[in-house]
Chains A and B, each alone.
Chain A
Protein backbone atom coordinates (compact mmCIF):
# COMPACT_ATOMS: atom_id res chain seq x y z
CA UNK A 1 0.00 0.00 0.00
CA UNK A 2 1.26 3.44 -0.97
CA UNK A 3 1.08 6.05 1.75
CA UNK A 4 1.31 9.75 0.98
CA UNK A 5 4.77 10.92 1.99
CA UNK A 6 4.71 14.50 3.29
CA UNK A 7 8.30 15.13 2.20
CA UNK A 8 7.56 14.02 -1.36
CA UNK A 9 4.42 16.18 -1.39
CA UNK A 10 6.40 19.19 -0.23
CA UNK A 11 9.02 18.64 -2.93
CA UNK A 12 6.39 18.34 -5.66
CA UNK A 13 4.45 21.38 -4.46
CA UNK A 14 7.67 23.32 -4.08
CA UNK A 15 8.81 22.53 -7.62
CA UNK A 16 5.48 23.76 -8.97
CA UNK A 17 5.90 27.05 -7.12
CA UNK A 18 9.47 27.18 -8.40
CA UNK A 19 8.18 26.71 -11.93
CA UNK A 20 5.92 29.75 -11.45
CA UNK A 21 8.64 31.93 -9.99
CA UNK A 22 11.70 30.92 -11.97
CA UNK A 23 10.68 32.32 -15.39
CA UNK A 24 9.39 35.50 -13.75
CA UNK A 25 12.67 35.92 -11.88
CA UNK A 26 14.64 35.23 -15.05
CA UNK A 27 12.58 37.84 -16.89
CA UNK A 28 13.22 40.52 -14.26
CA UNK A 29 16.84 39.62 -13.49
CA UNK A 30 18.14 39.18 -17.04
CA UNK A 31 17.01 42.56 -18.28
CA UNK A 32 19.58 45.34 -18.40
CA UNK A 33 19.21 49.11 -18.48
CA UNK A 34 20.50 49.06 -22.03
CA UNK A 35 17.78 46.60 -23.10
CA UNK A 36 15.12 48.82 -21.58
CA UNK A 37 16.33 51.96 -23.33
CA UNK A 38 16.61 50.02 -26.62
CA UNK A 39 13.02 48.78 -26.14
CA UNK A 40 11.69 52.26 -25.36
CA UNK A 41 13.40 53.62 -28.47
CA UNK A 42 12.20 50.72 -30.63
CA UNK A 43 9.65 51.84 -33.26
CA UNK A 44 7.37 48.82 -32.60
CA UNK A 45 6.83 49.24 -28.83
CA UNK A 46 4.79 52.44 -28.53
CA UNK A 47 2.34 51.61 -31.37
CA UNK A 48 1.89 48.05 -30.08
CA UNK A 49 1.27 49.25 -26.52
CA UNK A 50 -1.19 51.90 -27.72
CA UNK A 51 -2.99 49.36 -29.91
CA UNK A 52 -3.20 46.84 -27.07
CA UNK A 53 -4.65 49.43 -24.70
CA UNK A 54 -7.09 50.81 -27.29
CA UNK A 55 -8.40 47.48 -28.59
CA UNK A 56 -8.67 45.87 -25.15
CA UNK A 57 -10.48 48.95 -23.78
CA UNK A 58 -13.02 48.78 -26.62
CA UNK A 59 -13.34 45.01 -26.16
CA UNK A 60 -14.00 45.46 -22.42
CA UNK A 61 -16.56 48.23 -23.02
CA UNK A 62 -18.41 45.88 -25.37
CA UNK A 63 -18.02 43.00 -22.91
CA UNK A 64 -19.56 44.95 -20.04
CA UNK A 65 -22.32 46.53 -22.14
CA UNK A 66 -23.47 43.22 -23.62
CA UNK A 67 -22.24 40.90 -20.88
CA UNK A 68 -24.16 42.51 -18.00
CA UNK A 69 -27.65 42.03 -19.47
CA UNK A 70 -26.66 38.50 -20.52
CA UNK A 71 -25.39 37.72 -17.02
CA UNK A 72 -28.55 39.18 -15.41
CA UNK A 73 -30.63 36.90 -17.59
CA UNK A 74 -28.46 33.82 -17.04
CA UNK A 75 -28.32 34.38 -13.28
CA UNK A 76 -32.08 34.54 -12.84
CA UNK A 77 -33.34 32.07 -15.45
CA UNK A 78 -33.45 28.37 -14.72
CA UNK A 79 -34.72 27.46 -18.21
CA UNK A 80 -33.17 25.08 -20.72
CA UNK A 81 -31.92 27.92 -22.95
CA UNK A 82 -30.09 29.55 -20.05
CA UNK A 83 -28.43 26.28 -19.07
CA UNK A 84 -27.33 25.72 -22.67
CA UNK A 85 -25.92 29.25 -22.92
CA UNK A 86 -24.02 28.79 -19.65
CA UNK A 87 -22.41 25.66 -21.06
CA UNK A 88 -21.64 27.53 -24.29
CA UNK A 89 -19.70 30.13 -22.28
CA UNK A 90 -17.09 27.47 -21.55
CA UNK A 91 -16.35 26.95 -25.23
CA UNK A 92 -14.09 29.95 -25.88
CA UNK A 93 -12.24 29.15 -22.63
CA UNK A 94 -11.78 25.50 -23.57
CA UNK A 95 -11.03 25.86 -27.30
CA UNK A 96 -7.42 26.49 -28.35
CA UNK A 97 -7.07 30.16 -29.37
CA UNK A 98 -5.83 29.02 -32.79
CA UNK A 99 -9.15 27.25 -33.31
CA UNK A 100 -11.04 30.41 -32.33
CA UNK A 101 -8.93 32.35 -34.87
CA UNK A 102 -9.67 29.91 -37.69
CA UNK A 103 -13.37 29.86 -36.72
CA UNK A 104 -13.50 33.65 -36.83
CA UNK A 105 -11.89 33.58 -40.28
CA UNK A 106 -14.49 31.04 -41.41
CA UNK A 107 -17.24 33.38 -40.24
CA UNK A 108 -15.86 36.80 -41.14
CA UNK A 109 -13.27 35.96 -43.82
CA UNK A 110 -13.84 36.90 -47.46
CA UNK A 111 -15.49 33.58 -48.28
CA UNK A 112 -17.00 33.21 -44.83
CA UNK A 113 -20.67 33.18 -43.83
CA UNK A 114 -20.96 36.77 -42.71
CA UNK A 115 -17.80 37.86 -44.52
CA UNK A 116 -19.29 37.50 -48.00
CA UNK A 117 -22.28 39.62 -47.05
CA UNK A 118 -20.09 42.17 -45.23
CA UNK A 119 -17.71 42.54 -48.20
CA UNK A 120 -20.70 43.22 -50.47
CA UNK A 121 -21.28 46.20 -48.16
CA UNK A 122 -17.60 47.13 -48.47
CA UNK A 123 -16.71 46.03 -44.95
CA UNK A 124 -13.64 43.82 -44.52
CA UNK A 125 -13.13 42.60 -40.98
CA UNK A 126 -10.06 40.31 -41.09
CA UNK A 127 -6.64 41.92 -40.65
CA UNK A 128 -8.08 45.13 -39.18
CA UNK A 129 -8.14 46.56 -35.63
CA UNK A 130 -11.81 45.49 -35.53
CA UNK A 131 -10.66 41.89 -35.99
CA UNK A 132 -8.33 42.33 -33.00
CA UNK A 133 -11.25 43.57 -30.89
CA UNK A 134 -13.54 40.74 -32.07
CA UNK A 135 -10.97 38.10 -31.19
CA UNK A 136 -10.50 39.65 -27.73
CA UNK A 137 -14.26 39.81 -27.09
CA UNK A 138 -14.80 36.17 -28.09
CA UNK A 139 -11.87 34.87 -26.06
CA UNK A 140 -12.08 37.14 -22.99
CA UNK A 141 -15.73 38.06 -22.40
CA UNK A 142 -16.77 34.60 -21.10
CA UNK A 143 -14.49 35.18 -18.10
CA UNK A 144 -16.46 38.32 -17.27
CA UNK A 145 -19.91 36.83 -17.94
CA UNK A 146 -19.24 33.74 -15.83
CA UNK A 147 -17.94 35.80 -12.90
CA UNK A 148 -20.88 38.21 -13.25
CA UNK A 149 -23.40 35.35 -13.20
CA UNK A 150 -22.08 33.98 -9.92
CA UNK A 151 -21.79 37.47 -8.39
CA UNK A 152 -25.39 38.28 -9.34
CA UNK A 153 -26.60 34.93 -8.03
CA UNK A 154 -25.08 35.71 -4.65
CA UNK A 155 -27.51 38.65 -4.25
CA UNK A 156 -30.62 37.30 -2.46
CA UNK A 157 -33.80 37.32 -4.57
CA UNK A 158 -35.73 38.81 -1.65
CA UNK A 159 -33.93 42.12 -2.08
CA UNK A 160 -35.11 42.41 -5.68
CA UNK A 161 -38.65 41.38 -4.70
CA UNK A 162 -38.83 44.04 -1.99
CA UNK A 163 -37.38 46.67 -4.32
CA UNK A 164 -40.09 45.85 -6.87
CA UNK A 165 -42.90 46.25 -4.31
CA UNK A 166 -41.32 49.59 -3.37
CA UNK A 167 -41.87 50.83 -6.91
CA UNK A 168 -38.65 49.87 -8.68
CA UNK A 169 -38.94 48.51 -12.21
CA UNK A 170 -36.98 45.39 -13.14
CA UNK A 171 -34.20 47.57 -14.58
CA UNK A 172 -34.17 50.00 -11.63
CA UNK A 173 -33.88 47.10 -9.16
CA UNK A 174 -31.02 45.61 -11.19
CA UNK A 175 -29.12 48.92 -11.33
CA UNK A 176 -29.80 50.13 -7.77
CA UNK A 177 -29.73 46.87 -5.82
CA UNK A 178 -28.20 43.95 -7.72
CA UNK A 179 -25.25 45.59 -9.49
CA UNK A 180 -23.88 47.52 -6.46
CA UNK A 181 -24.05 44.35 -4.34
CA UNK A 182 -22.36 42.34 -7.10
CA UNK A 183 -19.71 45.01 -7.81
CA UNK A 184 -16.82 43.15 -6.20
CA UNK A 185 -17.41 40.02 -8.29
CA UNK A 186 -17.99 42.09 -11.42
CA UNK A 187 -14.63 43.85 -10.94
CA UNK A 188 -12.83 40.55 -10.44
CA UNK A 189 -14.42 39.21 -13.64
CA UNK A 190 -13.55 42.37 -15.56
CA UNK A 191 -9.95 42.18 -14.36
CA UNK A 192 -9.66 38.54 -15.48
CA UNK A 193 -11.21 39.29 -18.86
CA UNK A 194 -9.02 42.33 -19.42
CA UNK A 195 -5.86 40.39 -18.61
CA UNK A 196 -6.96 37.64 -21.01
CA UNK A 197 -7.70 40.23 -23.74
CA UNK A 198 -4.30 41.90 -23.30
CA UNK A 199 -2.59 38.53 -23.58
CA UNK A 200 -4.56 37.38 -26.62
CA UNK A 201 -2.12 35.97 -29.19
CA UNK A 202 -3.21 32.93 -31.22
CA UNK A 203 -6.66 34.01 -32.38
CA UNK A 204 -5.36 37.51 -33.11
CA UNK A 205 -2.42 36.24 -35.16
CA UNK A 206 -4.67 34.05 -37.32
CA UNK A 207 -7.71 36.31 -37.65
CA UNK A 208 -6.11 39.79 -37.53
CA UNK A 209 -2.54 39.09 -38.64
CA UNK A 210 0.56 40.87 -37.43
CA UNK A 211 0.51 44.26 -39.16
CA UNK A 212 2.56 46.87 -37.24
CA UNK A 213 0.37 49.81 -36.26
CA UNK A 214 -2.91 48.13 -37.23
CA UNK A 215 -3.09 44.68 -35.68
CA UNK A 216 0.28 44.18 -34.01
CA UNK A 217 -0.61 44.10 -30.32
CA UNK A 218 1.99 43.84 -27.56
CA UNK A 219 2.12 39.99 -27.52
CA UNK A 220 2.56 39.95 -31.31
CA UNK A 221 5.28 42.58 -31.08
CA UNK A 222 7.10 40.40 -28.52
CA UNK A 223 6.86 37.47 -30.95
CA UNK A 224 8.19 39.63 -33.79
CA UNK A 225 11.23 41.07 -31.98
CA UNK A 226 12.00 37.64 -30.48
CA UNK A 227 13.01 36.36 -33.91
CA UNK A 228 16.16 38.48 -33.89
CA UNK A 229 16.77 39.61 -30.32
CA UNK A 230 15.91 37.74 -27.10
CA UNK A 231 16.94 40.51 -24.72
CA UNK A 232 14.76 43.01 -26.58
CA UNK A 233 11.86 40.55 -26.33
CA UNK A 234 12.46 40.32 -22.59
CA UNK A 235 12.24 44.10 -22.22
CA UNK A 236 9.03 44.09 -24.31
CA UNK A 237 7.62 41.31 -22.10
CA UNK A 238 8.28 43.34 -18.95
CA UNK A 239 6.36 46.22 -20.51
CA UNK A 240 3.43 43.87 -21.23
CA UNK A 241 3.49 42.45 -17.70
CA UNK A 242 3.61 45.93 -16.20
CA UNK A 243 0.63 47.02 -18.32
CA UNK A 244 -1.46 44.06 -17.15
CA UNK A 245 -0.61 44.63 -13.48
CA UNK A 246 -1.38 48.36 -13.65
CA UNK A 247 -4.73 47.74 -15.40
CA UNK A 248 -5.74 45.10 -12.85
CA UNK A 249 -4.89 47.47 -10.01
CA UNK A 250 -6.95 50.24 -11.65
CA UNK A 251 -9.99 47.94 -12.04
CA UNK A 252 -9.71 46.88 -8.39
CA UNK A 253 -9.36 50.50 -7.23
CA UNK A 254 -12.32 51.54 -9.35
CA UNK A 255 -14.57 48.93 -7.74
CA UNK A 256 -13.33 49.49 -4.17
CA UNK A 257 -15.89 52.15 -3.13
CA UNK A 258 -18.75 49.90 -4.30
CA UNK A 259 -17.37 46.83 -2.59
CA UNK A 260 -16.89 48.72 0.67
CA UNK A 261 -20.51 49.95 0.61
CA UNK A 262 -21.77 46.44 -0.05
CA UNK A 263 -19.74 44.88 2.76
Chain B
Protein backbone atom coordinates (compact mmCIF):
# COMPACT_ATOMS: atom_id res chain seq x y z
CA UNK B 1 0.00 0.00 0.00
CA UNK B 2 1.36 3.44 -0.86
CA UNK B 3 1.60 5.70 2.13
CA UNK B 4 -0.18 8.91 1.28
CA UNK B 5 0.08 12.10 3.24
CA UNK B 6 -2.99 13.12 5.21
CA UNK B 7 -3.45 16.87 5.15
CA UNK B 8 -6.06 18.13 7.57
CA UNK B 9 -7.35 21.60 8.23
CA UNK B 10 -10.61 21.66 10.15
CA UNK B 11 -12.41 24.45 11.92
CA UNK B 12 -15.40 24.35 14.21
CA UNK B 13 -17.01 27.62 15.22
CA UNK B 14 -19.97 26.80 17.42
CA UNK B 15 -21.41 27.96 20.68
CA UNK B 16 -18.84 27.17 23.34
CA UNK B 17 -16.68 25.22 20.90
CA UNK B 18 -13.97 26.86 18.80
CA UNK B 19 -11.45 24.65 17.04
CA UNK B 20 -8.94 25.43 14.30
CA UNK B 21 -6.44 22.67 13.63
CA UNK B 22 -3.95 22.11 10.81
CA UNK B 23 -2.06 18.82 10.82
CA UNK B 24 0.03 16.98 8.26
CA UNK B 25 0.14 13.28 9.08
CA UNK B 26 2.59 11.07 7.21
CA UNK B 27 2.81 8.05 9.50
CA UNK B 28 1.97 7.50 13.14
CA UNK B 29 1.03 10.54 15.20
CA UNK B 30 0.08 10.78 18.87
CA UNK B 31 -2.56 13.42 19.52
CA UNK B 32 -2.59 14.51 23.13
CA UNK B 33 -4.47 17.16 25.05
CA UNK B 34 -6.60 17.78 28.11
CA UNK B 35 -10.26 16.70 28.22
CA UNK B 36 -12.49 18.92 26.13
CA UNK B 37 -9.62 20.11 23.92
CA UNK B 38 -11.36 18.80 20.80
CA UNK B 39 -9.38 15.58 20.19
CA UNK B 40 -12.44 13.44 19.60
CA UNK B 41 -14.11 16.05 17.37
CA UNK B 42 -10.94 16.22 15.30
CA UNK B 43 -10.83 12.44 14.86
CA UNK B 44 -14.54 12.27 14.05
CA UNK B 45 -14.10 14.98 11.43
CA UNK B 46 -11.33 12.95 9.75
CA UNK B 47 -13.55 9.84 9.86
CA UNK B 48 -16.39 11.77 8.20
CA UNK B 49 -18.80 11.26 11.08
CA UNK B 50 -18.81 14.92 12.13
CA UNK B 51 -18.87 17.62 9.48
CA UNK B 52 -16.64 20.57 10.37
CA UNK B 53 -17.70 24.15 9.72
CA UNK B 54 -14.75 24.82 7.46
CA UNK B 55 -11.43 23.59 6.12
CA UNK B 56 -10.13 20.82 3.90
CA UNK B 57 -9.11 17.19 4.40
CA UNK B 58 -7.11 15.37 1.73
CA UNK B 59 -5.34 12.05 1.59
CA UNK B 60 -2.69 12.33 -1.12
CA UNK B 61 -4.57 13.53 -4.19
CA UNK B 62 -7.97 12.44 -2.86
CA UNK B 63 -10.06 15.22 -1.36
CA UNK B 64 -12.19 13.87 1.50
CA UNK B 65 -13.62 17.18 2.61
CA UNK B 66 -13.51 20.70 1.23
CA UNK B 67 -16.03 23.17 2.59
CA UNK B 68 -15.39 25.77 -0.13
CA UNK B 69 -15.85 23.19 -2.89
CA UNK B 70 -18.86 21.63 -1.07
CA UNK B 71 -17.16 18.24 -0.94
CA UNK B 72 -17.80 15.94 2.01
CA UNK B 73 -17.10 12.28 1.26
CA UNK B 74 -19.33 10.09 3.49
CA UNK B 75 -17.56 7.85 6.03
CA UNK B 76 -18.43 4.65 4.17
CA UNK B 77 -16.17 5.59 1.22
CA UNK B 78 -13.28 7.20 3.13
CA UNK B 79 -11.49 3.90 3.95
CA UNK B 80 -10.94 4.93 7.54
CA UNK B 81 -10.34 2.42 10.31
CA UNK B 82 -11.98 3.89 13.40
CA UNK B 83 -11.84 2.58 16.95
CA UNK B 84 -13.92 4.85 19.20
CA UNK B 85 -13.57 5.16 22.95
CA UNK B 86 -15.28 2.15 24.45
CA UNK B 87 -14.55 0.18 21.24
CA UNK B 88 -18.09 0.28 19.76
CA UNK B 89 -18.41 -3.47 19.23
CA UNK B 90 -21.82 -4.57 17.89
CA UNK B 91 -23.36 -6.40 20.88
CA UNK B 92 -25.78 -8.51 18.82
CA UNK B 93 -23.06 -9.98 16.60
CA UNK B 94 -20.37 -12.53 17.47
CA UNK B 95 -16.72 -11.50 17.46
CA UNK B 96 -16.29 -13.12 14.04
CA UNK B 97 -19.38 -11.32 12.66
CA UNK B 98 -18.10 -8.04 14.10
CA UNK B 99 -14.78 -8.42 12.29
CA UNK B 100 -16.43 -9.60 9.07
CA UNK B 101 -18.89 -6.67 9.09
CA UNK B 102 -16.62 -4.39 7.05
CA UNK B 103 -16.46 -6.99 4.27
CA UNK B 104 -20.23 -6.88 3.66
CA UNK B 105 -20.32 -3.50 1.96
CA UNK B 106 -19.17 -1.51 -1.05
CA UNK B 107 -15.89 -2.16 -2.81
CA UNK B 108 -14.54 -4.39 -0.02
CA UNK B 109 -17.55 -6.72 -0.34
CA UNK B 110 -16.75 -10.45 -0.25
CA UNK B 111 -19.01 -13.49 -0.28
CA UNK B 112 -19.85 -15.15 3.03
CA UNK B 113 -17.16 -17.87 2.88
CA UNK B 114 -14.42 -15.41 1.97
CA UNK B 115 -15.60 -13.01 4.69
CA UNK B 116 -15.27 -15.71 7.34
CA UNK B 117 -11.85 -16.79 6.08
CA UNK B 118 -10.53 -13.23 5.96
CA UNK B 119 -11.99 -12.29 9.37
CA UNK B 120 -10.44 -15.38 10.96
CA UNK B 121 -7.06 -14.53 9.44
CA UNK B 122 -7.16 -10.98 10.83
CA UNK B 123 -8.32 -12.22 14.24
CA UNK B 124 -5.42 -14.67 14.29
CA UNK B 125 -2.96 -11.90 13.44
CA UNK B 126 -4.19 -10.06 16.54
CA UNK B 127 -4.04 -13.11 18.77
CA UNK B 128 -7.82 -13.22 19.10
CA UNK B 129 -8.89 -16.19 16.98
CA UNK B 130 -9.93 -18.13 20.07
CA UNK B 131 -12.57 -15.44 20.72
CA UNK B 132 -14.28 -15.85 17.32
CA UNK B 133 -17.56 -17.33 18.60
CA UNK B 134 -17.90 -15.15 21.70
CA UNK B 135 -20.24 -12.22 22.20
CA UNK B 136 -18.74 -8.78 22.90
CA UNK B 137 -20.39 -8.80 26.35
CA UNK B 138 -18.26 -11.80 27.31
CA UNK B 139 -14.91 -10.15 26.46
CA UNK B 140 -12.44 -8.52 28.83
CA UNK B 141 -11.33 -4.96 28.04
CA UNK B 142 -8.10 -6.11 26.43
CA UNK B 143 -9.88 -8.75 24.36
CA UNK B 144 -12.50 -6.24 23.21
CA UNK B 145 -9.73 -3.86 22.17
CA UNK B 146 -8.02 -6.54 20.07
CA UNK B 147 -11.32 -7.38 18.37
CA UNK B 148 -12.13 -3.70 17.72
CA UNK B 149 -8.67 -3.27 16.21
CA UNK B 150 -9.04 -6.35 14.03
CA UNK B 151 -12.44 -5.10 12.86
CA UNK B 152 -11.03 -1.69 11.92
CA UNK B 153 -8.05 -3.20 10.06
CA UNK B 154 -9.98 -5.84 8.11
CA UNK B 155 -10.96 -3.23 5.49
CA UNK B 156 -7.26 -2.35 5.01
CA UNK B 157 -7.92 1.27 5.85
CA UNK B 158 -5.90 4.08 4.33
CA UNK B 159 -6.17 6.00 7.61
CA UNK B 160 -6.30 4.49 11.10
CA UNK B 161 -7.92 6.45 13.94
CA UNK B 162 -7.64 5.21 17.53
CA UNK B 163 -9.50 7.33 20.08
CA UNK B 164 -8.04 6.74 23.57
CA UNK B 165 -7.59 3.03 22.82
CA UNK B 166 -6.03 2.25 26.19
CA UNK B 167 -8.08 4.47 28.49
CA UNK B 168 -10.70 1.84 29.34
CA UNK B 169 -8.20 -0.90 30.20
CA UNK B 170 -6.79 -1.92 33.57
CA UNK B 171 -3.07 -1.49 34.16
CA UNK B 172 -1.97 -4.99 33.12
CA UNK B 173 -4.09 -5.07 29.96
CA UNK B 174 -2.90 -1.58 29.15
CA UNK B 175 0.74 -2.59 29.27
CA UNK B 176 0.32 -5.63 27.00
CA UNK B 177 -1.97 -3.71 24.63
CA UNK B 178 0.50 -0.84 24.45
CA UNK B 179 3.20 -3.25 23.26
CA UNK B 180 0.81 -4.79 20.73
CA UNK B 181 -0.25 -1.36 19.43
CA UNK B 182 3.23 0.05 19.13
CA UNK B 183 4.32 -2.99 17.10
CA UNK B 184 1.26 -2.61 14.90
CA UNK B 185 1.64 1.13 14.44
CA UNK B 186 5.34 0.67 13.64
CA UNK B 187 4.49 -1.81 10.88
CA UNK B 188 1.78 0.34 9.28
CA UNK B 189 2.74 2.65 6.47
CA UNK B 190 -0.34 4.90 6.26
CA UNK B 191 -1.35 7.78 8.53
CA UNK B 192 -2.32 6.63 12.02
CA UNK B 193 -3.70 9.01 14.62
CA UNK B 194 -3.50 7.76 18.18
CA UNK B 195 -5.39 9.88 20.70
CA UNK B 196 -4.09 9.65 24.25
CA UNK B 197 -3.71 11.51 27.48
CA UNK B 198 -0.98 9.22 28.84
CA UNK B 199 2.67 10.09 28.25
CA UNK B 200 3.61 6.39 28.40
CA UNK B 201 1.55 5.80 25.24
CA UNK B 202 3.44 8.59 23.49
CA UNK B 203 6.74 7.13 24.63
CA UNK B 204 5.83 3.61 23.47
CA UNK B 205 4.62 4.70 20.01
CA UNK B 206 7.93 6.33 19.08
CA UNK B 207 5.99 8.84 17.00
CA UNK B 208 5.71 12.63 16.87
CA UNK B 209 3.22 14.23 19.26
CA UNK B 210 0.77 16.99 18.51
CA UNK B 211 -0.62 18.77 21.56
CA UNK B 212 -4.16 20.05 21.22
CA UNK B 213 -5.27 22.59 23.81
CA UNK B 214 -8.28 24.88 23.69
CA UNK B 215 -8.97 23.98 20.06
CA UNK B 216 -5.44 24.79 18.80
CA UNK B 217 -2.26 22.81 18.24
CA UNK B 218 0.03 24.42 20.81
CA UNK B 219 3.09 22.25 20.18
CA UNK B 220 4.32 19.60 17.75
CA UNK B 221 7.42 17.47 17.98
CA UNK B 222 9.06 14.43 19.48
CA UNK B 223 8.47 13.66 23.12
CA UNK B 224 12.05 14.67 24.02
CA UNK B 225 11.64 18.05 22.33
CA UNK B 226 8.36 18.62 24.14
CA UNK B 227 9.94 17.70 27.43
CA UNK B 228 12.97 19.91 26.83
CA UNK B 229 10.95 23.00 25.95
CA UNK B 230 7.29 22.64 26.92
CA UNK B 231 5.17 25.37 25.32
CA UNK B 232 2.43 25.34 27.97
CA UNK B 233 1.98 24.18 31.57
CA UNK B 234 -0.10 21.27 30.24
CA UNK B 235 2.78 20.06 28.05
CA UNK B 236 5.18 20.37 30.97
CA UNK B 237 2.87 18.32 33.18
CA UNK B 238 2.12 15.81 30.44
CA UNK B 239 5.75 15.08 29.62
CA UNK B 240 6.88 15.05 33.23
CA UNK B 241 7.73 11.40 33.91
CA UNK B 242 10.02 11.62 36.91
CA UNK B 243 8.40 13.74 39.59
CA UNK B 244 6.78 11.78 42.41
CA UNK B 245 3.07 12.42 42.97
CA UNK B 246 2.29 15.47 45.09
CA UNK B 247 2.04 14.93 48.84
CA UNK B 248 -1.58 14.76 49.96
CA UNK B 249 -2.93 17.15 52.54
CA UNK B 250 -4.92 14.43 54.22
CA UNK B 251 -4.00 10.76 54.60
CA UNK B 252 -5.81 8.47 52.14
CA UNK B 253 -9.09 7.11 53.37
CA UNK B 254 -8.96 3.55 54.65
CA UNK B 255 -10.50 1.14 52.21
CA UNK B 256 -13.69 -0.65 53.11
Contact = CB atoms under 8 A, between A and B. Distances in A.
B15 interface: no
Interface in A149-167: 156, 158-159, 161-167
B108 A158 contact: no
Interface residues of B, number: 31
Interface string B74-89: 1111101111111010
Interface in B56-86: 74-78, 80-86
B78 A165 contact: yes
Nearest to A173: B76
A158 B84 contact: yes
A242 interface: no
B105 A177 contact: no
Contacts of B77: 167
A262 interface: yes
A221 to B, nearest CB: 43
Contact of B80 (A165, A176, A180): A165
A168 B84 contact: no
A161 B91 contact: no
A165 B48 CA distance: 8
A262 B44 CA distance: 26
Contacts of B151: 162, 166
Contacts, number: 72
Given A161-B88, A162-B84, A261-B92, A167 B104 contact: yes
B158 to A, nearest CB: 11
25 contacts: A156-B86, A158-B84, A158-B86, A161-B49, A161-B82, A161-B88, A162-B90, A163-B90, A163-B101, A164-B74, A165-B48, A165-B76, A165-B80, A165-B81, A166-B102, A166-B151, A167-B76, A167-B102, A167-B104, A167-B105, A167-B155, A168-B104, A168-B105, A169-B105, A181-B91
B106 interface: yes
Contacts of A66: none
B80 A161 contact: no
Contacts of B78: 165
B181 interface: no
A166 B101 contact: yes
B47 interface: yes
A24 interface: no
Interface of B: 44, 47-49, 74-78, 80-86, 88, 90-92, 101-102, 104-109, 151-152, 155
Interface residues of A, number: 19
Contacts of A158: 84-86, 88
Instruction: Give 10 nearest A-B pairs by CB, closest first.
Output: A167-B105, A166-B102, A164-B75, A158-B88, A162-B88, A165-B82, A167-B106, A262-B92, A161-B49, A261-B92
A180 B92 contact: yes
Given A156-B88, A169-B76, A161 B105 contact: no
B49 A165 contact: yes
B75 A161 contact: yes
A210 to B, nearest CB: 46
Contacts of A163: 90, 101
Contacts of A176: 101, 104
Given A159-B90, A169-B76, A177-B90, A164 B48 contact: yes
